[in-house]
Amino acid sequence: MKKYSILIVFNIALAISIQAQKPYWELGFGGGISSYWGDLNSESFSDNFMNMNAAGNMHLRYNVENFAVRTMITIGKMKGSDKNSIDQARKMRNLSFFSPIYEFSVSGEYNIFGFDPSDRESVFTPFVMLGAGVLRFDPKTEYNGGIISLQPLGTEGQGLAGQPDRYSLTQFVIPMGGGIKFKLTKNLVGSLEMIGRATFTDYLDDVSTTYANYSELLTHNGELSANLSQRLDEYLGLPEGSNAESTNGTKRGGADLNDYYFSFMINLSYNLGRKLVLGGRTSKKGASCPKF
């Protein structure tokens, strides 16, 4: 009997807690910058500002007091170039890339102070977030006045006998970060956030391991693959392939760490209340029992 009493009390307390939480939905947009960190970023933090690009997002958030679940679509760009390096050897390597970013993610958020825009005392809160997402990217480079997609070329020997296949342009990512939310009105919420993405690839920039054999690339992957695998000759103003023997098998990138990217966004979201579309009807209070 005692166990049943405890269970009843627990269920009553849970029901009261859920009722008090007043869950609500938000729909919002954001804008800011995106950047990347990998084999083609500069060693100087200030020089990496040159790698920053415009980015934006659209998100839908479900809030219950301290917690929220957010789905988000992020669009941006990443880029890097040895021309921005302060190291002469890096400048001579002369590699560069840029790539669009298309990301879909689902994240959990924790509002450290709790947050409810309808509460007068709830003004702002710092928050942390962690999630999972899918990234679509496509590294490209400028060459002889044109734009070339790098992944199909297999510039590090991908696709050759005994070498790995070409890397996938769709990758799993783990977004993590935090920021601060603040109430503008009872229906409008602003936020500032920084989100970094851990990736499971070292090829966001098409650079990872060692220089492949120039002759093999030329024979099997084509002239573009061979010429874009090493661009030292281009930097020195020499004919393509002049330094092929000096680079064959030497280090091209750092395969010990995967690439990652991040974004800094300013967001604005609108409180939709408790509206749900159920059976073709929109309800502010949730589903009600059908009447006969």
Alpha helices of 170-264 — where are they, by DSSP H? 214-216, 223-229, 232-236, 244-247
Cα separations in angstroms, 268 against 17, 26, 119, 126: 28, 10, 18, 16
Asked if the model's pLDDT at residue 267 lies above 90, the reply is: yes
Which range among 8-22, 136-150, 236-250 has the greatest average pLDDT? 136-150
Alpha helices of 163-236 — where are they, by DSSP H? 214-216, 223-229, 232-236
Average pLDDT, the chain: 86
The boundaries of the domain holding residue 93 are 23-148+164-209+258-273
Q: What is the DSSP string of 130-157?
A: EEEEEEEE--EEEETTEEEESGGG-TTS
Q: What is the mean pLDDT of residues 255-271?
A: 95
Whether residue 125 is contained in a domain is answered as: yes
Whether residue 58 is contained in a domain is answered as: yes
The tens digit of pLDDT for each residue in 191-220 reads 999 999 999 999 999 999 999 999 999 999
pLDDT band for 36, please (50, 70, 90 cuts): very high
Name every residue whose Cβ is closer than 8 Å to that of residue 89 and which is 6 or more positions away in sequence.
Answer: none
Per the structure, the count of domains in the chain is: 1
Asked if the model's pLDDT at residue 270 lies above 70, the reply is: yes
Query: Residue 153: what pLDDT?
Result: 97
Whether residue 61 is contained in a domain is answered as: yes
Query: Residue 21: what pLDDT?
Result: 55
pLDDT band for 15, please (50, 70, 90 cuts): very low
Whether residue 81 is contained in a domain is answered as: yes
Q: Which amino acid is residue 128, in one-letter code?
A: V
Whether residue 113 is contained in a domain is answered as: yes
Q: Hey, how many other C-beta atoms are within 10 angstroms of the C-beta on 44?
A: 13
pLDDT > 90 in the chain, percent:
68
pTM above 0.75, yes or no: yes
Q: Is 245 exposed, middle or buried (0-12, 13-18, 19+ CB in 10 A)?
A: exposed
- Residue 57 and residue 268 in contact, taking contact as beta carbons nearer than 8 Å: no
CATH number at residue 263: 2.40.160.20
Whether residue 69 is contained in a domain is answered as: yes
Q: What is the mean pLDDT of residues 166-181?
A: 98
Whether residue 142 is contained in a domain is answered as: yes
Whether residue 218 is contained in a domain is answered as: no
Q: What is the mean pLDDT of residues 242-267?
A: 91
